[in-house]
């Protein structure tokens, strides 16, 4: 078989490979399409197939949902919950990860095994005591009450530790001999090396918090303190019109989509790292 023929056969085969890939891609996208088209369908018939054809765009539902007194608050609450949590999770996890990776101290292994073991405990067992604890501390319906219980993120600690263990000891020793204090050593030698993992974890922790539902559901009472997921659920439970609920769904999804489009490779890295550690 000559090379040209083989090549063209391979090309045809490659073309065929697109078919199942494309079918699944379309099936994956359809719910998003439905969400967007419905959100633009304000004041029109919702009977099929008219409801799903992309004509007669009307942003009225977005105006309505944004005029809903609390939606903007929910966005701010969600942003605060996510951003503050990301920063604090990364700070605490990287501090601890550095010690676990590069230092010997009393009880290190025992602590580490305890951390590992608690990964097996379902979050739902701790939910009620956590709720009681936060309510005793008068933290229900407050931003700090929402954030603080989520800060001891063990996965983040493990991945950070794994990464810091890869930093050569010589680098740290050299800086120490040059007279760097512990804090400076951490801040100027270790931390800059961990930028890739910080970015990856940052993106993931942001995702978890932005999409978190159960804890905000029990830890907030008044609609003023809801986050978007809880708010969106209440919108739909209140029987707001379908188009307004869908506009709310789009607004909840949009920031995550933006982060995803900009930082896609960090998402991919985060998934593969957690799978293959």
Partner 1 sequence: MTTQTAPRTEPAAGRPARPSRWSRMRRSGSGMALLFVAPYLLLFLVFRILPTLAGMALSLAKYQITGILEWRGLDNFQRLFTDDLFWNALRVTAVYTVIAVPLTLVVALAMAQLSARSIRGIRVYRALYFLPVITSLVTSGVIWQWLYAEHGPLNGLFGLLGIGPVPWLSSGAAVLPSLSLLSVWTRFGYDMLILLAGLLAIPQEYSEAAMLDGASAWQRFWHITLPQLKPAMFFVVILEIVQSFQVFDVIYVMTGGGPVRSSYSLVFFVYDQGFHYFDFGYASAAGVVLFAITLIVSLVQRRLFRED
Residues 67-126 that bind partner 1 (CB under 8 A): 91-93, 95-96, 98-100, 103-111, 114-115, 118, 120-126
Which one of 1, 3, 28, 69 is in contact with partner 1 (CB under 8 A)? 28
> CA 80, 81, 85, 88 torsion: positive or negative?
positive
Q: Is 21 in the site for partner 1 (CB under 8 A)?
A: yes
| CB nearer to partner 1: pick between 20 and 168 | 20
Q: Is 133 in the site for partner 1 (CB under 8 A)?
A: yes
Q: Is 1 in the site for partner 1 (CB under 8 A)?
A: no
Q: Give the count of residues interacting with partner 1 (CB under 8 A).
A: 95
CB 62 within 8 A of CB 68: no
Taking CB under 8 A as the binding criterion, the range among 22-30, 54-62, 65-73, 193-201 that sits at the site for partner 1 is: 22-30
Q: Is 140 in the site for partner 1 (CB under 8 A)?
A: no
CB 94 within 8 A of CB 191: yes
Tell me which residues in 169-208 interact with partner 1 (CB under 8 A): 182, 186, 207
Nearest distance from C-beta of residue 256 to partner 1, angstroms: 5
Q: Cβ atoms within 10 A of the Cβ of 111, count?
A: 14
Which one of 128, 165, 171, 174 is in contact with partner 1 (CB under 8 A)? 128
CA angle 166, 167, 172 (to 5 degrees): 150
Which one of 25, 116, 165, 174 is in contact with partner 1 (CB under 8 A)? 25
Alpha-carbon 259 to chain mean position: 10
Nearest distance from C-beta of residue 150 to partner 1, angstroms: 8
| CB nearer to partner 1: pick between 66 and 140 | 140
Residue 89 main-chain phi, psi, to 5 deg: -60, -45
Q: Please report, for residues 96, 98, 127, 139, 172, the alpha-carbon distance to residue 103 in angstroms, rounded to integers and kept in the order given.
A: 10, 7, 33, 35, 11
Q: Cβ atoms within 10 A of the Cβ of 71, count?
A: 23
């Amino acid at each position: 078989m000559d090379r040209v023929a083989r090549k063209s056969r391979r090309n045809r085969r490659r073309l065929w490979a697109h078919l199942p890939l494309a079918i699944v891609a379309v099936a994956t996208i359809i719910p998003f399409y439905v969400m967007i088209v419905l959100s633009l369908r304000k004041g029109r018939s919702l009977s099929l197939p008219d409801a799903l054809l992309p004509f007669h765009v009307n942003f009225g539902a977005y105006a309505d949902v944004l005029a809903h007194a609390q939606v903007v608050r929910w966005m701010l609450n969600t942003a605060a919950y996510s951003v503050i949590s990301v920063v604090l999770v990364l700070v605490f996890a990287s501090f601890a990860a550095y010690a676990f990776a590069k230092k010997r101290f009393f009880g290190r292994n025992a602590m580490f095994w305890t951390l590992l073991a608690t990964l097996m405990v379902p979050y739902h067992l701790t939910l009620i005591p956590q709720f009681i604890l936060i309510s005793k501390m008068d933290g229900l319906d407050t931003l700090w009450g929402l954030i603080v219980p989520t800060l001891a993120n063990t996965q983040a600690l493990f991945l950070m530790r794994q990464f810091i263990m890869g930093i050569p000891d010589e680098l740290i020793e050299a800086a120490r001999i040059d007279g760097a204090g512990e804090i400076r050593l951490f801040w100027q030698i270790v931390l800059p090396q961990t930028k890739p993992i910080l970015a990856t974890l940052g993106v993931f922790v942001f995702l978890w918090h932005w999409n978190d539902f159960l804890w905000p559901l029990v830890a907030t009472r008044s609609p003023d303190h809801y986050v978007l997921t809880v708010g969106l659920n209440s919108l739909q439970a209140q029987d707001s019109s379908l188009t307004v609920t869908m506009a709310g769904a789009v607004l909840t999804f949009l920031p995550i989509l933006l982060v995803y489009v900009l930082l896609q490779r960090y998402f991919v890295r985060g998934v593969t790292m957690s799978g293959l550690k």
